[in-house]
Structure 1
Amino acid sequence: MKKILLFFISIHFHISSSQNILIEFQFNVNSTFELASVSKKSILKQDDKFSIFELKDIRDVRNFKHHESITTLKERDTVTIFNINDQGFACLFKEQCYKDFEKNIQIDSKIIGLQKTVFIEDQINLFNWELIQESDTIISGYNCKKAKTNFRGRNYIAHYTNEIANQGGPWKFDGLPGFILSVKSLDGFISIEPTEIKININQNKQIKNPYENKKTIKFDKLYMEFLNQERKNFAKAKSKNPYLEQTKAGPLESIEIIEELQKERIYE
């Protein structure tokens, strides 16, 4: 009897981990500047080896919660710049978070100052999760268990299920004994919820690494990229206006809090 049970578990694991998955998510970020808050339509494709999570359409003004107050200023291949009710600017860039499960690496990108793109490489198992023992929660028809963690300055609650896959999740979130379907930060800054789930789809194209041959940096070096770009921007502005004595940069609002960028920065 024990042998039969173990054999069944082994087969179940293999089937779950080799499914082709396509899930659409609503990726909400609540900015302190309310008009800049977004509810981004994002999509995740995953198989047993790779996954990629990306923003569906960077040109769609409806990604902003208050899209009636937003107008498009400039469109490029990788970024769209928006005017926020003549009170400021915001941009949506071609966000892609790629994971290689076998190598335990994930890569995403950031645009700094609308001018420079950097590629950040992390391990997939970034998170120190604590599993919460309580009754299952049903999300989109799947039985989900609960876990919590602190990640780069924010506390999170996640719900995961082994009825879809034994790994994976939206954006960088991963490392639980199942697929992460839902994530919320306790400060209300970010929430990610599924809107459509497709399992065992016909995925003709292999998931490719969009960052192949790109030079990557580690996350702890990211703040230096911001500082260097801010210095270059000030030098450029001063070359056009010799009377410019200094410029200030305030705290950077980001999902991943970078402590070095939370203080006011003055360039002279």
Structure 2
Amino acid sequence: MKLIIFFLGISTFCFSQKFSFIYETKYKLNSEKPDEVNSEKMILDLKNNMSIFRDSLDRKSDSVRLNNGTGRFKMGVENQLYVKKNLAQKRIEKVITYLGTDYLLPVEDALNWNISSEQKVIGNYQSQKAETIYGGRTWTAWFTTELPFSDGPYIFSGLPGLIVSIQDSNNDYSFNLIEVQKGNNIFDARKKTVKIDWKKYETLARSYFNDPFDILSKGWKTVTFTDPKGKTMDISVKVKEMQHHILQENNPIELDHKINY
């Protein structure tokens, strides 16, 4: 009983403060080029059972938006890893920003964790193994009760401690904790959202694929592109180039919602 009270005391103390957990995130967007790996730092900001997971540029953009700036401009819909969680209510939501609008996509898949007795040290933390299935992928996670937060990178949460490492069985996506910071602001700038489901998400993605420069044509009277030699290019050529690029990024984290254009 004393151990339980001690753990709850730590949890209450920790959740009353602000923490930022920085993860090295690696992912392969092109399944036909398995050696082509993208890498970036992503941040899990946590405060009072609320958390936001996003890359460093989105975090800076949110700070700018809170100070009445325009923030970061994004053209595409797919492969956005921005996630908000309410741990107390077990609510997980992806935020998709497209054409100046923030769309809220609830993640309703239950994360059924299979916790193993296997343990190992990762970094400075004694960690324990757990597995789950999400997005058409099998995931192996390592969590530590030394950081008593039932949270982790991206949509992953619900374990008896912070997830310090998680990777899918295809080794396409991985998140590894590399730094813990205390006292950072959470910068929650995306509160006015339009709620969508996966069907609407696909509609938005297809709209972008069909006309990736639609926002440019709405913003200016004429849009022109030039080749490396300065010669004017027809916009249809640029559209085909962009569509080819979208088709190459054919390995989304949610494989069960992959869009076949």
Q: Tell me the TM-score normalised to structure 2 length.
A: 0.69
What is the rounded CA distance, in whole Å, between the counterparts of 1:234 and 1:122 in structure 2? 28
- Structure 1 counterpart of 2:116: 132
What is the rounded CA distance, in whole Å, between the counterparts of 2:100 and 2:256 in structure 1? 18
- Structure 2 counterpart of 1:66: none
- Structure 2 counterpart of 1:78: 72
What is the rounded CA distance, in whole Å, between the counterparts of 1:93 and 1:79 in structure 2? 15
Aligned equivalent of 1:169, options 143, 152, 155: 152
What is the rounded CA distance, in whole Å, between the counterparts of 1:26 and 1:92 in structure 2? 20
- Structure 1 counterpart of 2:82: 96
Map Cα deviations across residues 36-90 of structure 1 (whole Å, 9 max, x no partner): 63111122221232112221137xxxxxxxxxxxxxxxxx942479xxxxxxxx9
What is the rounded CA distance, in whole Å, between the counterparts of 1:133 and 1:156 in structure 2? 16
Map Cα deviations across residues 199-232 of structure 1 (whole Å, 9 max, x no partner): xx234x4x35322121121335322222343345
For structure 1, the 5+ residue unaligned runs are: 59-75, 82-89
> Which protein, 1 or 2, shows the higher relative CO under an 8 Å CA cutoff with sep ≥ 6?
2
Map Cα deviations across residues 99-152 of structure 1 (whole Å, 9 max, x no partner): 22234333333356xx57552332587412111122x22122111111111111
> Whose helix fraction is larger, Structure 1's or Structure 2's?
2
- Structure 2 counterpart of 1:11: 9
Displacement of 1:258: 4.2
What is the rounded CA distance, in whole Å, between the counterparts of 1:259 and 1:51 in structure 2? 24
Displacement of 1:191: 0.8
Displacement of 1:96: 3.3
* C-alpha distance 253-92 of structure 1, shift in aligned 2 (>3 A): closer
Letter in 2 for 1:31: L
Aligned equivalent of 1:155, options 127, 138, 142: 138
Between the aligned residues of both structures, percent identity stands at 19
- Structure 1 counterpart of 2:104: 120
Displacement of 1:91: 11
Q: Tell me the TM-score normalised to structure 1 length.
A: 0.67
- Structure 1 counterpart of 2:190: 211
Q: How many residues align?
A: 224
- Structure 1 counterpart of 2:26: 28
* C-alpha distance 146-35 of structure 1, shift in aligned 2 (>3 A): closer
Displacement of 1:188: 1.0
- Structure 2 counterpart of 1:67: none
For structure 2, the 5+ residue unaligned runs are: 59-69, 218-234
Aligned equivalent of 2:255, options 251, 254, 257: 257
Q: Quick check: 2:79–2:252 contact (8 Å CA) kept in 1?
A: no
Q: Quick check: 2:46–2:52 contact (8 Å CA) kept in 1?
A: yes
Displacement of 1:253: 2.5
Q: Does 1:53 align with 2:53?
A: yes
Q: Quick check: 1:125–1:174 contact (8 Å CA) kept in 2?
A: no
